[in-house]
Every structure is written in structure tokens, then in C-alpha cells.
Amino acid sequence: MKPAVTYELLHECKQTGARRGVIHTPHGDIQTPIFMPVGTQATVKSMTPEELKEEVKAQIILSNTYHLYLRPGHEIVKEAGGLHKFMNWDRPILTDCGGFQVFSLSDLRTISEDGVEFKSHLDGSKHFFSPEKVMEIEEALGADIIMSFDECVEHRCKL
């Protein structure tokens, strides 16, 4: 069985180790390195998919798992045919894992060995994210590339 996503190395700089390549996905190829616009809630603010393709030449969009989970909800996106149909984007999509929200919403979360409990910034409701739950949400969203749950640490953090 062929993997859904593959990477093809085109060039590696001998001095720096910097690489240029192509990521092949079911929704198209991504030339790297790449600028990736962020569509936090399944839309890049103030731009249509056509503008992203024609003017920005976007090859991929990043969407935010945490925010899509809260609204409209990953099950609604799944029922709509996945994130590609939901946001009218036929090119690759990457979903992040919510790890940045663990950092940025520190006043609204509690970290344990099993995951993170968030208090929604929208209505105060409680939600628990474990690595397994994040994978479940991202699978339902149907992105080409999904990120595993991580935790961002503060600048100059002593581990």
C-alpha cells in the first residue's frame, strides 16, 4: 500500500543542511520550503479560496484543530464531507494539534499526564484533549497532514 503522503528530496545544501523538496499528498504537491497561510476556523480571513490560489499562490492551508473542535465541531465538518469540502479548498490542508493553545490559553487549562483539560474561551465549557482525542478530531476533519499533540514551552523555559 502506497503511503498517502510522501516526501521527495530535490536538493540539500552542503554548507547548511537546508533542503528543498516536494511533499506529495492526495490533494496535490507542495514545493518546500513553503509559506502556509493560516485558516484558523476553516477560512483565511478576508480572502477567498480563489484569491489564495491565484494571487497568493497558496499550495497548502493550515487549519486549527482546537478552534474547529469548539466550533463548528469536528463531527459537523466530517458530515459536510471533510475540511476540504467544508472550506471549498481542493489543495492540501494541514491541521495543527492544539498544542499552541496549551501554551496560549494557560489561564484556561490544566495539564495532567493524560492530556489537557481546557475551559472554552467561548462559553466556559470543559473539554479534555488527550493525544488520542486529538488524533480522533483531526481524522474527522480529514486533513492531508495532521500533527501529533505536543506542548509548547515558554521562552527560556528550564526543563
47-98 per-position pLDDT tens digit: 999 999 999 999 999 999 999 999 999 999 999 999 999 999 999 999 999 8
The predicted pLDDT at position 1 comes to 73
Question: Sheet holding 19-25: strands in order across?
Answer: 6-12, 19-25, 28-32
Mean pLDDT of 121-145: 96
**What gap in Å lies between CA 5 and CA 145, rounded to an integer?**
8
Residue type, 87: M
pLDDT digits (tens, 9 = 90+) for 17-55: 999 999 999 999 999 999 999 998 999 999 999 999 999
User: Are residues 137 and 65 in contact, defined by beta-carbon separation less than 8 angstroms?
Assistant: yes
The predicted pLDDT at position 9 comes to 98
The predicted pLDDT at position 104 comes to 87
Q: Is the pLDDT of residue 128 over 80?
A: yes
On the 0-12 / 13-18 / 19+ scale of CB atoms within 10 A, 22 is: middle
Taking Cα atoms as reference points, which of 130, 143, 126 lies closest to residue 68?
A: 143
Residue 146, beta-bridge partner list: 95
User: Are residues 69 and 121 in contact, defined by beta-carbon separation less than 8 angstroms?
Assistant: no
